[in-house]
């Protein structure tokens, strides 16, 4: 079991039998570039197509085929670099990374090695306890994806699907700056939010458009970095957290037993929640990188970069600050709302000309709760932002009470109908007509003379009367009017 407790930097340590350890994590995130065409060919990239239906002669590495760089993918990488507050290199080089694999017909991957398109940057990562840490970015480079070997379609044969061959990836390499699985989790979430805001990667981990190689080492606080192990191709946040926890514990146990960590590449087994050796350092590949002779170095002007920078959307950090400033929201509320671009845009429509805190509550409590239960995303919410805003207006102009509004909300979620129409059809309009309320009050008072006597002694008992009147009016009476009329008639303050 790990116990977390703060030390001087306020970041977590994990307890071992012989004292505290610090986990050190660095991530290499592969993010598929949002682009209709591949990095060096015009083939389409849509997910889920028939196997081998999106493969050009270049992607299949037919002899004599030449790659042609896709300018849009370059632009997307620059945009992402800007979003990571990173150095953009106007000169970069594509190298061949040589290895053999059946799903890699070229016999090499075109990648970037010594001269990546994006250099150092940083990402501010917000943690659940309200603090934040800055995680350094080492580099971002462009490379091609490989195809996919399919082993489960036939008892004795394997197949290769080259649809993914040549699709543009950005490899985003962090510095070893994370100190817990929670920080790694928050970092990937933030990265995903940034690329989604930018529209440079859809961040869809289930479809493999974002996956991470997870480097983990442990050390005594203040000691030099320990030997790391790299866990390959982790494709969900939950698995990443499990892999880090397991791997750190494994390394701590070895070190506390007087052993040493072998630098190696490991695989995470999702069934057992453990990691196992894939290859050790001795078996590590020598990729024999060299500049790809089919491609010139990639050069563009700073003016072009500046032009791209001008077109960037508002990113999560800036939006969070604006939500706090303009709407007076708490840091926590603002962080929840900007975590996804879709949510922030939904919220802004609901909040327009309305109380922002009220709008925030409806979105983050009621709507999120209902979406969660239904297993839906905000993008397929049965209630539109405009409809939710209309519902809040109905409360504000006293057409319905807050309590009835919850019922209307549920019906909206079921039917996608407009709140006004639901209120009309179901006769849910609040009764503000004092005559109607008065007659309900009179009936209750007449039928409960014992309670009327008691309420003079115990004014708190008025709550009971309010409840009765609300029940008698099907929850539609205006609660303020009910209170006021009751007080007058019962003679309590
Ligand atoms: P490689 O290309 O061989 O994987 P890199 O030097 O590019 O090696 O490092 C890859 C990742 O490993 C980076 O994200 C880096 O932050 C991380 N890393 C480097 N040293 C450590 C360490 N001691 N513990 C944890 N992560 C590390
Ligand atoms: Mg690596």
Residue 363 CB less than 6 A away from ligand 1: no
Look up the CATH number of the domain holding residue 461. Answer: 1.10.10.410
Same domain, 165 and 211: yes
Q: What is the pLDDT of residue 8?
A: 40
Q: What is the DSSP string of 111-147?
A: E--SS-SB--EEEEEE-TTS-EEEEEEEEEEEEE---
Residue 29 CB less than 6 A away from ligand 1: no
Question: Do the Cβ atoms of 281 and 265 come closer than 8 Å?
Answer: no
Backbone CA torsion sign across 308, 208, 111, 229? positive
Q: What is the pLDDT of residue 286?
A: 85
Closest alpha carbon to 324 in 312, 313, 335, 315: 335
Same domain, 11 and 69: yes
Question: In a mutational test of the pocket of ligand 1, which residue from 97, 176, 231 has the highest number of ligand atoms less than 8 Å from its CB?
Answer: 176
Q: What is the pLDDT of residue 56?
A: 97
Same domain, 359 and 449: no
Same domain, 382 and 474: no
Among all bound ligands, the one having the nearest atom to the CA of 289 is 1
Structurally, the chain folds into a number of domains equal to 3
Same domain, 249 and 299: yes
Among all bound ligands, the one having the nearest atom to the CA of 217 is 1
**Residue at which a domain ends, from 293, 309, 325:** 309
Q: Which residue is closest in CA terms to ligand 1's atom 13?
A: 26
Residue 24 CB less than 6 A away from ligand 1: yes
**Residue at which a domain ends, from 309, 327, 359:** 309
Alpha-carbon distance of 326 to 121, in angstroms, equals 28
Same domain, 354 and 411: yes
Closest alpha carbon to 43 in 146, 160, 144, 166: 166
> In angstroms, what is the span from residue 364 Cα to ligand 1's centroid?
37
Question: How do residues 160-202 score in pLDDT, each as one tens digit?
Answer: 999 999 999 999 999 999 999 999 999 999 999 999 999 999 9
Same domain, 288 and 354: no
- For the chain, the C-alpha Rg in angstroms (whole number) is 30
Among all bound ligands, the one having the nearest atom to the CA of 232 is 2
Q: What is the pLDDT of residue 435?
A: 81
Closest alpha carbon to 37 in 163, 213, 188: 163
**Residue at which a domain ends, from 274, 309, 344:** 309
Same domain, 269 and 364: no
Q: What is the pLDDT of residue 74?
A: 98
Same domain, 229 and 297: yes
Same domain, 88 and 145: yes
Domain residue limits at 417: 313-426
Same domain, 62 and 204: yes
Residue 175 CB less than 6 A away from ligand 1: yes
Q: Report phi then psi at 60, rounded to 5.
A: -85, 0
Question: Do the Cβ atoms of 138 and 120 come closer than 8 Å?
Answer: yes
Alpha-carbon distance of 94 to 118, in angstroms, equals 13
Same domain, 377 and 440: no
Q: Tell me how far the alpha carbon of residue 322 is from its chain's centroid.
A: 20
Q: Which residue is closest in CA terms to ligand 1's atom 19?
A: 176
> In the chain, which residues have pLDDT < 70?
1-10, 282-284
């Amino acid at each position: 079991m790990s116990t977390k407790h703060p030390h001087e930097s306020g970041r977590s340590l994990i307890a071992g039998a012989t004292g505290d350890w610090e986990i050190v994590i660095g991530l290499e995130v592969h993010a598929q570039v949002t682009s209709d065409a591949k990095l060096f060919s015009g083939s389409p990239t849509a997910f889920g197509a028939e196997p081998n239906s999106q493969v050009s002669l270049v992607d299949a590495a037919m002899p004599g085929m030449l790659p042609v760089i896709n300018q849009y993918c370059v632009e997307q990488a620059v945009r992402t670099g800007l979003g990571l507050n990173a150095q953009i290199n106007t000169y970069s080089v594509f190298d061949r990374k040589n290895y053999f694999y059946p799903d890699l017909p070229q016999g090499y991957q075109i990648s970037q090695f010594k001269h990546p398109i994006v250099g150092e940057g940083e990402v501010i990562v917000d943690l659940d306890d309200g603090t934040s840490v800055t995680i350094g970015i080492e580099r971002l480079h462009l490379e091609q994806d490989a195809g996919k070997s399919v082993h489960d379609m036939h008892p004795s044969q394997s197949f290769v699907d080259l649809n993914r061959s040549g699709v543009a990836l950005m490899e985003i390499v962090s510095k070893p700056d994370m100190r817990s699985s929670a920080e790694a989790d928050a970092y990937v979430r933030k990265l995903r939010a940034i690329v989604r805001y930018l529209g440079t990667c859809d961040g869809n981990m289930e479809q493999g458009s974002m996956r991470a190689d997870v480097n983990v080492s442990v050390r005594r606080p203040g000691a030099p970095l320990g030997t790391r192990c790299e866990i390959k191709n982790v494709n969900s946040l939950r698995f990443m957290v499990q892999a880090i926890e397991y791997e750190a514990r494994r390394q701590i146990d070895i070190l506390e037993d007087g052993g040493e960590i072998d630098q190696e590449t490991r695989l995470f087994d999702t069934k057992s929640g453990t990691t196992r050796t894939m290859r050790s350092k001795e078996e590590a590949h020598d990729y024999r990188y060299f500049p790809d002779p089919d491609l010139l170095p990639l050069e563009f002007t700073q003016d072009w970069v500046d032009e791209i920078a001008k077109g960037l959307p508002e990113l999560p950090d800036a939006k969070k600050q604006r939500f706090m400033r303009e709407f007076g929201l708490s840091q926590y509320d603002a962080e929840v709302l900007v975590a996804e671009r879709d949510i922030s845009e939904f919220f802004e429509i609901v909040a327009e000309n309305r109380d922002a805190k009220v709008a925030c509550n409806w979105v983050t409590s009621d709507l999120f709760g209902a979406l969660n239960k239904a297993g839906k995303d905000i993008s397929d919410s049965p209630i539109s932002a405009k409809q939710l805003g209309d519902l809040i207006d109905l409360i504000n102009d006293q057409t319905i009470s807050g309590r009835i509004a919850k019922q209307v909300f549920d019906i909206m979620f079921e039917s996608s109908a407009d709140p006004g129409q639901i209120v009309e059809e179901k006769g849910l309009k609040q009764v503000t007509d004092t005559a109607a309320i008065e007659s309900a009050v009179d009936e209750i008072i007449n039928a409960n003379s014992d309670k009327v006597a008691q309420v003079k002694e115990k004014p708190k008992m008025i709550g009971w009367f309010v409840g009765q009147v609300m029940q008698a009016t099907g929850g539609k009476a205006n609660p303020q009017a009910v209170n006021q009329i009751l007080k007058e008639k019962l003679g309590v303050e």
